[in-house]
Amino acid sequence: MLSKIFNWLSKDLAIDLGTANTSIYLKGKGIILTEPSVVTVKEDGRYKRVLAVGEEAKRMLGKTPGNIKAIRPLREGVIADFEVTEAMIKYFIQKVYNRGYFLKPRVIISVPSGTTQVERRAVKESAEGAGAREVYLIEEPMAAAIGAGLPITEPVANMIVDIGGGTTEVAVISLGGIVVSHSIKVAGDKIDEAICHYIKRKYSLLIGEATAEQIKIAIGNVLPEEPYETMEIKGRDLVTGIPKTITINSKEVQEAIKEPVDLILQAIKQVLEETPPELAADIVDRGIVLSGGGALLRNLDKLIAKETGLEVKVTENPLFCVALGAGKALDEIDIFKEVMAEV
């Protein structure tokens, strides 16, 4: 009875702790925060002092002096720096969680399906250290499927492909469980890296991660058509060492990102090959659902449809799909408790 009163009084949070962005869902209010998963720290011997978190820290990426570092504490979907991750979660919780609330929040956090028990414990301990009363974990493809409104508890196949910043999660879900899944550490970040390498190789021009991301968003296209879109970019000439401006087009970006996109396609095909026949028949009827920021890459849905022969649709709100699904699972915790990830 007491726990029910506690649950009623506390404002619960769902956190999509992404490699690129962190989104927070507040019970009863929806998505109330989305900020980059970036922290700026000042190193003083063995100690790190947090200077900025989120949007403010992202603006400092690649522009800091020697003793100040703008870092991304999550790499490829897992915690790379425990201390900084805890500080980041704490900052976000404090930013959205009014101190006037009576109780500490219950928190549900999404984790990639390929994470180990040790990695999951690290996420849980980070949230507990940041002030959560209870911590639940949910696998990203499961949260994405709930957020996309798929009937995950019914005996039908729901195929979801969640392309985030650090990982791509491909899963077939039925009866509230993941039947087949595959998690690869190829997603938005690897696409940005591929653009950086291509421009360095072809034009001897060095560009940063932020510029590569801008290129991907502005003219990234996996099936570009003539006349190709163009974009002016600035970087440092590796031959002369002087800043330089060049123009690239969407056909070049397609070439640049071909390898990571092919790896995502391979992961989708692998899951389809491993799917039991009865569920495979459902997928033919129901198709594949895309979510995550990577789903916004132009014509990716058409390319997957062309390669698999299946219907592919992008969910209504791909960027916030995981956070919305985790929030829905938290709102109806008694129904979705079975789908929570074990720690």
Q: Which CATH number fits domain 2-37+72-142+322-341: 2.60.40.420, 3.10.20.30, 3.40.220.10, 3.30.420.40?
A: 3.30.420.40
User: Is 20 a known ligand-binding residue?
Assistant: yes
* Residue 343 near residue 124, CB atoms below 8 Å: yes
Q: Which CATH number fits domain 150-315: 3.40.50.720, 3.30.420.40, 3.30.300.30, 3.90.180.10?
A: 3.30.420.40
User: Is 137 a known ligand-binding residue?
Assistant: no
Domain-wise residue ranges, the chain: 2-37+72-142+322-341, 150-315
Res 339: pLDDT? 73
User: Is 216 a known ligand-binding residue?
Assistant: yes
Res 101: pLDDT? 54
User: Is 166 a known ligand-binding residue?
Assistant: yes
132, two tokens: 């959560």
Res 9: pLDDT? 47
In terms of Cα–Cα distance, which of 316, 317, 288 is closest to 300? 288
- 10-residue block means of pLDDT along the chain (343 residues)? 49 87 88 91 80 88 80 84 85 75 79 84 86 88 94 93 93 92 93 97 93 95 94 95 95 97 97 94 95 95 96 94 92 78 67
Fold match, 2-37+72-142+322-341 / 150-315: yes
Res 8: pLDDT? 47
User: Is 214 a known ligand-binding residue?
Assistant: yes
User: Is 296 a known ligand-binding residue?
Assistant: yes
User: Is 164 a known ligand-binding residue?
Assistant: no
Res 342: pLDDT? 67
User: Is 165 a known ligand-binding residue?
Assistant: yes
**Pairing status of strand 30-36 against strand 288-291:** unpaired
User: Is 325 a known ligand-binding residue?
Assistant: no
* Residue 269 near residue 308, CB atoms below 8 Å: yes
Res 5: pLDDT? 45
Can you give the pTM of this predicted structure?
Answer: 0.89
Res 99: pLDDT? 56
User: Is 100 a known ligand-binding residue?
Assistant: no
Res 343: pLDDT? 63
